[in-house]
Structure 1
Amino acid sequence: MATDTLDSAGPAKVPGPSGDKGAGRASGALRLLRDNGALGALVILVVALSLLSGDFLTTQNLLNVGVQAAVTAILAFGVTFVIVSAGIDLSVGSVAALSATVLAWTATDAGLPVWLSVVLAVGTGIACGLVSGALVSYGRLPSFVATLAMLSVGRGLALVISQGSPIAFPESVSVLGDTVGGWLPVPVLVMAAMAVVTAVILNRTFSGRAMYAIGGNEEAARLSGIRVKRQKLVVYALSGGFAAVAGIVLASRLVSAQPQAAAGYELDAIAAVVIGGASLSGGVGKASGTLIGALILAVLRNGLNLLSVSAFWQQVVIGVVIALAVLQDTLRRRSA
């Protein structure tokens, strides 16, 4: 019986071990690109820009892309927590500027030890996040309104502390804007570290699982025993803490804390999260997607600069990309 079946099907083809491995790797890569639309878009974008500009696919330029993506990505990691839990955080750019200003002012004008200034800066970001979280959880304000208010408060406090002028950044912290070994940018290493932290929190902690539950169905999460209000405090505190780290990295690159720094970065951060596949309705999102989203924005800007495209048209292109990403999310939810 088995012989008849084999004969009717024709001679069997037995690929060699190398053929099996090669086919497996190829199918795995195709499956990865198919299941991760943002990754596929990034690959296509890199290939296209490599063909259009000979200067794009060089080690130095790719490292520049990483540096350009670093601050946006770190901000976006924090925003990922908020969006996964079905919220929004418009304050991260202002919180980043405020945290960097606190660090520079306490270390220079106030004369505090640098390590203590760093702690105070990160604490400032977390405190801003806790205030936003309290307004959302206990004040029952929409997250859009609460974080919009914090955007204004954070920027105003940064201007008050600095008197509207840049403050020199401590040299010992400015190394975050330098390179390791003369070629590997430290901001890229910080970005990679924060990506790992984000992935661990989302996938390996109770708070991470609670974020997905709250974003998927807040009432069901509450009935299942999750303390929704407390978890929302954690979510916004994390977003504020990540914003503080991003502000420190940005100020290290600029070698000064500027009260108007990171203006508009909150929009890039939200865009990176959405482009990376997160849903604005909550319950969907991951660290790798956010990283890819930030890289897409950085690659787009870098490539358009290399092609001498006007900065005005760059804004148009990025706006179209964001619109397409949100449209894709809408279509995906409808089909689901």
Structure 2
Amino acid sequence: MHDNPNKLAAATLPGEPAQAKGLDLRRAFLQHNALVMLLVLVVAASFLSADFFTWQNLGNLLRQLTPLMLVSIGMLIVILTAGIDLSVASVAAVGGIVVAMSLNLLPFAGAGGLLLALAIAVAAGVLMGLVTGTFIAYLRMAPFIATLAMMTMARGLAFILSNGQPQRLADDQSAAALLREFGRQSDPLLGVPWPVWLALVVVVGFALILRYNAFGRLVVASGSNETAVRLAGIAVERYKLAAYAICGGLSALAGVVITSRSGVATPSAGLALELDAIAACVIGGALLSGGKGSLFYTVVGVLVLGLIGNIMNLLSVPAYPQQMIKGAIIVVAVLLQGIGRRDARI
């Protein structure tokens, strides 16, 4: 007697949905591993310290993460074009120095003087991004080399402009006082720090641009398949140039935020900020080969890095173990990305 093949097939059916469900859960975990990391860290922090969920701690954490958030958004746009920008920290230092010097030297007071100084600082960052982007997009220089050169030059420029000395915001200048209040105060209604509102506006703005605007789609396409974009008659160089200009402007804005918190602009500000920005993008799933990255998950990556430091500070752990843990998380994130891509091909 031969077994009925239909009966055998039917007998295997109950196990198949469970197996498929397990595979779907695995893929969902790999796809959203940055979010899982964030949730695990939040739960761990709530158990490790009773001070974690206090509004003062969360407000300070988000305030401190604003410069990294701004730089990481610019870094993501560059990475989407298959590039990298190592100069963001140095450009941030220049932005801080320029805004402090402008506030101290310009004869304008009040909000008008602050907006003018802010425009000058951001314009300086955009200009440096344009220089870097020109070398990369039009002169075909490797992004690593071009931005490494700009990193050195911008840091030197920060020291030259400041003569190697910290530039303190003038106490008797109303525009400088407004900048200090922006960095240290919160809105009176919700109690959210003003720099956090700035970061939120920038995040929402670029999320809309990357998702719904032709510029965002072409930035992603130029990093995913540059040859196809060129064959379609699109000038890839313009989008690469714009990406580095945006990154430079956001980096300078981050330097302004750093200055607003401390009331002092230093030429050494923002050290290692570029490494944290790259780490946030990688943790968020961005591919350094270009064409893949999510602004939402880059924000999650920034929060993951911030939570690691916050937990360690609450537990009074020295800075060096924090660096080791950050490195380990980056390695884990890259490994999970590789596993996720292999699963997607199966």
Post-superposition CA distance 1:154-174 (Å, at most 9, x none): 111111011111112322222
Distance 1:300 1:253 in 2: 21
Cα pair 2:137 2:237 within 8 Å, conserved: yes
Report the equivalent of 1:225: 233
Report the equivalent of 2:288: 280
Cα pair 1:34 1:40 within 8 Å, conserved: no
Counterpart of 2:69 in structure 1: which amino acid?
A
Task: Using the aligned pairs only, state the percent identity.
Answer: 43
Cα pair 1:202 1:286 within 8 Å, conserved: no
Report the equivalent of 1:216: 224
Report the equivalent of 2:298: 290
RMSD: 2.0
2:85 corresponds, among 86, 89, 94, to 89
2:273 corresponds, among 262, 265, 268, to 265
1:172 corresponds, among 153, 169, 178, to 178
Unaligned runs of 5+ in 2: 1-25, 170-175
Unaligned runs of 5+ in 1: 1-29
Distance 2:213 2:294 in 1: 14
Post-superposition CA distance 1:118-141 (Å, at most 9, x none): 111110011111111001011111
Report the equivalent of 2:208: 200
Report the equivalent of 1:331: 339
Matched positions, count: 308
Post-superposition CA distance 1:78-124 (Å, at most 9, x none): 11100111110111111111012111112213545333221111100
SS in structure 2 at match of 1:180: coil
Distance 2:70 2:121 in 1: 16
Cα pair 2:31 2:340 within 8 Å, conserved: no
Cα pair 1:80 1:290 within 8 Å, conserved: yes
TM-score, normalised to structure 2, is: 0.84
Report the equivalent of 1:140: 140
Report the equivalent of 2:326: 318
Q: Aligned pair 1:58/2:58, yes or no? A: no
SS in structure 1 at match of 2:285: coil
Distance 1:308 1:268 in 2: 21
**1:33 positional shift:** 6.8
Report the equivalent of 2:150: 150
The worse-fitting range, judged by mean Cα deviation, of 240-249 and 166-175 is: 166-175
Report the equivalent of 1:162: 162
Distance 2:143 2:307 in 1: 30
**1:34 positional shift:** 6.9
**1:327 positional shift:** 2.2
Counterpart of 2:97 in structure 1: which amino acid?
T
**1:32 positional shift:** 7.9
1:43 corresponds, among 39, 42, 49, to 39
Counterpart of 1:241 in structure 2: which amino acid?
G
- Quickly say closer, same or farther: Cα 1:228–1:219, change in 2 above 3 A: same
1:66-105 correspondence to structure 2 within 5 Å: 66-105=62-101
Cα pair 1:65 1:295 within 8 Å, conserved: no
Counterpart of 1:219 in structure 2: which amino acid?
T
- Quickly say closer, same or farther: Cα 1:319–1:34, change in 2 above 3 A: closer
Distance 2:156 2:298 in 1: 29
Distance 1:283 1:127 in 2: 25
The worse-fitting range, judged by mean Cα deviation, of 32-41 and 136-145 is: 32-41
